[in-house]
Amino acid sequence: MATPKRVVQLTTVHHPYDPRIYHKECKSLQQAGFDVTLIAQESVKEGTKEKPIKHIPLKTYKSRLKRMTLGAFAAYKEAKKLNADVYHFHDPELLPVAWLLKNKKNVVIYDIHEDYITSILQKDYMPMPVRKIIASTYKFTEKFFTRHFELCLAEKYYKDIYPSGKCILNYPTINENFLNSKRHGPVESKLLYTGNVSVVRGAMLHSKIPLIDENIQMHFVGKCPSDLAEKMYAVAGDKKDNLVIEGIDQFIEKEVIEDRYLNTNWLAGIALFPPTEHYMKKELTKFFEYMNAGLPVICSDFPVWKNFIETYKCGIAVDPNNDYEINQAISYLRNHPEEAREMGENGKRAVTEELNWHTEEQKLVSWYRELLKLGKTGNIQEGMGV
């Protein structure tokens, strides 16, 4: 049996349990027979039933500058030792590291999670001239370092920016517990938001929902900075007890989030984001997760989002700044439980049949085989002899 090809996944920014990096890409590649090592902050927990991913922990720095310098250098040293066939990295700050790791015998993949240039231009705490200089500098730097890299794109619209990139979309893994779950009994007046909490992801808009409908409890399950949490409570005012934030200053693992989906009969999953160029173009991973759990979706009525919701008949799109529309959407789902249940089932069916990681997993493994000239296979399990 041939020696398995060695793959190193690198990140200095993301949590080692990041769903895309750990639960999707690392696990899928390991299952396909690749020898996978993750270089990331902190330690991967022990005692899981599945075969754990080999993990080389990096020191965690509170200072961004130290992380981008000392952390990146530490990642380089560890990665270099492994002499991998594929280096797959996930952070812009690792561009110089990946460039140093590239040689004629290996493959280097840059996994682009965000539209970084648009994101830089939207940082309104900096003057626009400064933003433009930083964005231009980043664009030049990225182009220089990635000349001999492969590009892995997490979103469809990134293809407009990186025509040569390979789309490996961030669809959810199918949770068997979700497939077997049904929405029985009365739905509670509780809305769920999962994932990192931030202003651009609608923290302030979600926080005022208890003021729009005094019977609603708004639950957040995901990392939320403590200073932002205080601002959110202030927005809710005398209804702040109707805000439940799980994850203040701490990462919430995928398994915990999935458990939260199941332990409450939620009215809907919610994603009322303010309009930004970046989010208006992308299909949120959050949509697929809500749909996977059988929840109807309430989201902003950006054209891409509204078209998605209408295509799959899985929720209601509203103007995120129109309190009346938000109230009407909540009232409709509360007063029409059968229609709400059907929206949830439509979403679940779409994820089960189409919008799931299994298809992307096959694309990822086939792409790796092609890059390494290993030949193609339609069966992921056949990778055990790579």
- The CATH number for 199's domain is 3.40.50.2000
Q: Are 128 and 203 in the same domain?
A: no
Verify that 132 and 198 share a domain, yes or no: no
The stretch 62-76 carries a mean pLDDT of: 95
Q: What is the pLDDT of residue 50?
A: 54
Higher local confidence (pLDDT), 380 or 206: 206
Domain-located, residue 1 = no
* 111 occurs within a structural domain: yes
Residues 344 and 365 in one domain: no
For residues 315 and 183, membership in a common domain is answered with yes
Residue 114 has pLDDT above 60, yes or no: yes
Kindly state the tokens that stand for 179: 């497939």
pLDDT digits (tens, 9 = 90+) for 271-290: 999 998 878 888 898 999 99
Residue 349 and residue 227 share a domain: yes
Per-residue pLDDT for 87 more than 70? yes
Dist CA 14 CA 311 (whole Å): 32
> Per residue in 6-36, pLDDT tens?
999 999 999 999 999 999 999 999 999 999 9
Region of residue 119 (phi > 0: left; psi between -120 and 50: alpha; otherwise: beta): alpha
- Of 149, 175, 171, 173, the C-alpha closest to 162 is 149
78 shares its domain with 31: yes
| Cβ atoms of residues 291 and 303 within 8 Å | no
Contacts of 261 (CB under 8 A, 6+ apart): 178, 192, 194, 289, 293, 295
Whether 12 and 155 map to the same domain: the answer is yes
pLDDT band at 382 (very low <50, low <70, confident <90, very high): very low
Helix (H, G, I), strand (E, B) or coil at 207: helix
Per-residue pLDDT at 43 exceeds 80: no
Q: What is the mean pLDDT of residues 293-322?
A: 97
Q: Please report whether residue 349 resides in a domain.
A: yes
Determine the pLDDT at residue 118: 79
| 257 shares its domain with 145 | no
Structural domain contains residue 238: yes
Number of domains comprising the chain: 2
Same domain as 317, residue 232: yes
Residue 375 confidence class, pLDDT cut points 50, 70, 90: low
User: Which structural domain range is residue 268 located in?
Assistant: 176-353
Scanning 243-356, the segments in alpha helix (DSSP H) are 254-262, 277-281, 285-292, 303-312, 323-335, 337-353
Tell whether 320 is covered by a domain.
yes
Q: How do the residues of the chain divide into helix, strand and coil, expressed in percent and rounded to 5? A: 50, 15, 35
Verify that 117 and 187 share a domain, yes or no: no
- Asked if residue 314 and residue 269 are part of one domain, the reply reads yes
> Do 300 and 136 form a contact (C-beta atoms < 8 A)?
no
* Residues 29 and 161 both lie in one domain: yes
